[in-house]
Amino acid sequence: MEILPSVELESPLGVEVNAAIIWLHGLGADGNDFAPIVPQLATPDNFGIRYVFPHAPSIPVTINNGLVMPAWYDIKGLDSDRHIEDKEVQQSAQRVHNLIDREVQRGVSSERIIVAGFSQGGAVAFEAALTYPKSLGGIMALSSYFATADTIDIDPIHNTIPIMICHGTMDSVLPDSLGRKSFATLQNLGFVPEYNDYAMEHAVCPQEITDIGNWITRVLLK
């Protein structure tokens, strides 16, 4: 089983880990990208959360003139269709499945595992979480889009999974129309996602971080 190298942060010493958040970075970043915001999430110490921030493999990226960089899949164009290969998203989703399996082996119930991602990491989070064969705690997609909406084979076990979508209204990389399209698509599929927008570019902002922390707390209190 392939296990991606990751940055891991855990609750304070002495608190048993009983939940996990697997958080995927965006194009060209790595697992260190979102680790610094963990203290800002202000989730209760006694929740016992392990944060796993995996590093994507480095591959040539077409839109960046073939430059090799960390990426979950290649992007061949910047129009609304993005021109991606679903197979590459599915391959990355399988890597996430392996990380979920490892957390289960470590003693974390799958129902207390959240899959999160920023930008193309969010696209993989949708694919990975909705095709995983066991119940999960939730999905969080930040400044992202539902790349495989037309091809995904959703496992019905996730019919009631909590989903949080966050997007910047001034995002020039992935316009917020893509976030809203993801929201509408999920609603049409019978899900009840939560949508939050913010006056920001392709980034995260303090209010969003607060909202993410509150959402994680609500999900893990169930």
- Let me know if residue 111 belongs to a domain: yes
pLDDT per residue as tens digits for the range 107-119: 999 999 999 999 9
- Let me know if residue 203 belongs to a domain: yes
- Let me know if residue 185 belongs to a domain: yes
Residue 97, helix vs strand vs coil: helix
Instruction: Please state, rounded to an integer, the average pLDDT across all residues of the chain.
Output: 94
- Let me know if residue 1 belongs to a domain: no
- Let me know if residue 118 belongs to a domain: yes
Cα dihedral sign, 20-25-31-34: negative
pTM of the model: 0.96
pLDDT per residue as tens digits for the range 65-90: 999 999 999 998 766 555 788 999 99
Distance separating alpha carbons of residues 53 and 10, to the nearest angstrom: 11
Active-site annotation holder among 6, 101, 202, 211: 202
Residue 99, helix vs strand vs coil: helix
> What CATH number did the domain enclosing 33 receive?
3.40.50.1820
Predicted pLDDT at 79: 64
Sequence-distant (≥ 6) Cβ neighbours of residue 95 within 8 angstroms: 2, 4, 54
Can you give the residue range of the structural domain that contains 35? 6-221
pLDDT per residue as tens digits for the range 33-47: 999 999 999 998 888
- Let me know if residue 49 belongs to a domain: yes
Active-site annotation holder among 119, 143, 144, 182: 119
- Number of folded domains that form the chain: 1
Known active-site residue 171: yes
- Let me know if residue 152 belongs to a domain: yes
Known active-site residue 92: no
Active-site annotation holder among 30, 33, 74, 171: 171
Distance separating alpha carbons of residues 58 and 101, to the nearest angstrom: 23
- Let me know if residue 132 belongs to a domain: yes
